[in-house]
Every structure is written in C-alpha cells, then in structure tokens.
Amino acid sequence: MKTPQKEQSLLIQHAARACRSAYAPYSNFHVGAALMTDDGEIFDGCNIENSSYSLTICAERTAVFKAVAAGKKKFRSIVVTSDDKGFITPCGACRQVLSEFSPKLEIILVTSKGKKKITTLDKLFPTPPDLKKLSHRSKRKAAK
C-alpha cells in the first residue's frame, strides 16, 4: 500500500528530527528513521554508536524495537534519512528485522537534500531466511 503524500511528509519530518538526535561520535554519520504502523502510529529512531561497533544499533532497528515494545507489530512504511547527500538503504541486519514483521514494507529513502526514492523491502531483500520452515524441521526431528 502506497503511503499518501501527507503521511509521507509527516514521516519525513519525524525521521529528520530523529536523525538530529543520532549519537555518532565515531563515524559522524547520522541516520534517522520513522516507522508507521498499520494503524497510523509513528515510531522514530536514530543510530546509536558504541565504541564496540558490534553493539551499535541502526535507526531502523531502534524504531522497530520501540514499536514492538509498545505492542505494535504490523507496519505500513518506513522513512530512512541521513546527513548524506545520497540515498541510504537499510543494512542487512535491519532488512532481516523488518522482514520479520512486514516483508513487503514500503521504504521511503530521503537524502539530506530532500530527494526522495520509494521502494519496498521485498525488492531490497527478496529471499529472507524462513525460520518457520526450520522450526518445523526441528519439531519433526524431535518427534522421531
């Protein structure tokens, strides 16, 4: 489902505000995201770095985790923006987390100059791992 222009603008505002809140003392690369639930609620997130890079969290996952902690698990669209002139797409870890909840999620990419590009998660991540199949296999083996 394509997000109406008015809602896109609101999401972009939220993502831009979140981008300004990013904690990025090591990379100086600020990213903001705004995630819209199926019922129109918005959860934003920013990247938060740590001196142990593996403990760093991306803006997209911050937004998803905030939403899930609030009991929301169905999402319509996400805006991802940064302080970069180019388009920034969700990383592999973020794609995996997003696909857990909304495999066909609309993704609106926005540059620091305000250029916009719209895609979907299933285009960026066409074949996510299906752990449900794996769990069925495990149950079958355990039953033998």
Q: Which of the residues are catalytic?
A: 60
φ, ψ of residue 39 to 5 degrees: the values are -95, 10
What is the Cα–Cα distance from 126 to 96, expressed in whole angstroms?
A: 11
- Residue owning tokens 């926005």: 110
Q: How many residues does the chain have?
A: 144
The answer for 65, left when phi > 0, alpha when psi is -120 to 50, beta otherwise, is alpha
- Residue owning tokens 């993704």: 107
What is the Cα–Cα distance from 130 to 106, expressed in whole angstroms?
A: 20
